[in-house]
Amino acid sequence: MDGAPPFVLTLTRDGDQFLAQATGQQQFEIFATSDSTFKLTVVEASMTFHRDADGSVNRVTLHQSDQPATRIVEEGDGPWEPSEAELLAYEGRYFSAEIEAFCAVTVEDGALMMKHRRSGPFKLTAGERDAFSTGTLLGQVEFVRDRGGSVVAFYAGNGRTRDVRFERR
């Protein structure tokens, strides 16, 4: 959704099944209700695909929050693959005053990991530079840098909750 850039909804087809997968979430089936509308069953929502004059689809509206989404075509470049040195820049202890919680970010065996006292460690999967998905309820994590390029915070969000700020300590 354009209002939440780290949120990506990937749409695929497997035989007669149409599938969707939101960033950090499980894949789920979607069902056609017209030639341009699909119903989601995991949440109370639907999607309308908007055709251009040539019949191609480059825009979709998610009818849960009515936020427009711009289609991004994968060019085959693949996701950003940070080096271990780049991952080390994210290491540290972070605190959110809003939810009164600490998270520790570490590099283990070449992977960026996050730990919270209520959950075991989980891997952060790189998307774009400074943006990661968790595959957990935390959803997406986007790190923030200061003018000098140092990582100073991150924002977390999972679609329903957005922009929960964690400051580096």
For the segment 116-134, what is each residue's pLDDT rounded down to a tens digit? 887 778 899 888 889 888 8
Entry pTM? 0.57
Distance of CA 112 to the CA centre of its chain: 16
Identify the pLDDT of residue 3.
Answer: 47
Res. 157: pLDDT tops 60: yes
What number is the average pLDDT over the span 38-58?
Answer: 84
What number is the average pLDDT over the span 72-84?
Answer: 68
What are the structural domains, with CATH classification, of the chain? 9-70 (no CATH), 84-168 (2.40.128.50)
